[in-house]
Amino acid sequence: MKKKNIAELTNCSVEEYREAEKLPFAILLDNVRSMQNVGSILRTSDAFLVKEVVMAGITGIPPHKEISKTALGAEDSVSWRYAEDAIEECARMKAEGWTVCVLEQAHGSIDLMDFAAAEGMKYLLVVGNEVSGVDQRIVDMADMILEIPMRGVKHSLNVAVSAGMAIWRIASGLEKV
């Protein structure tokens, strides 16, 4: 097998991407403090046609060189916006009909691999701070808690890594409905 060259990897222009139909899927970053994690989540969101990324609280926003370092241009293609308060924004989106899916370790959570998208639903994935996770008030209003089971010594993954896994799983489910 031969690796693909850059011309073979190019899917569309930024303008074409912006016009493309997106999945009914948004992401809320609840006080994510690392700019590189923000950039990585934007880049993953670009790959899976996420409708928008909402950056809330202390989460950094573009333009920022540390975001650009990992986003590699996704900050220009993915629709994103800032909301001052993650809790208020989550409640507002839930009231608009978004199904709130929190990625967190919690009693009664659903294994991420058991997630199944339902036809006609809009999903909001909430990921949290690298140390304290998703605010408990958002966990309390969630429609479902998704958890990545940890089988080794470490009890958690980097927020961008775990968000990437959840984005892939939810997007894959939405593409099948």
Q: Note down the domain range covering 85.
A: 13-176
- Output the six-digit token pair for 115: 């997630």
Confidence at residue 108, expressed as pLDDT on a 0 to 100 scale: 96
Which CATH number fits the domain that encloses residue 162?
A: 3.40.1280.10
In terms of Cα–Cα distance, which of 143, 151, 152 is closest to 170? 143
b or e along 7-21 (b: 16 or more beta carbons within 10 Å of the residue's beta carbon)? Answer: eeeeeeeeeebeeee
pLDDT higher at 45 or 11:
45
pLDDT exceeds cutoff 90 at 10: no
Tell me whether residue 3 is in a domain. Answer: no
pLDDT digits (tens, 9 = 90+) for 128-165: 999 999 999 999 999 999 999 999 999 999 999 999 99
- The alpha carbon of residue 32 and the mean position of all alpha carbons in its chain are separated, in whole angstroms, by 11
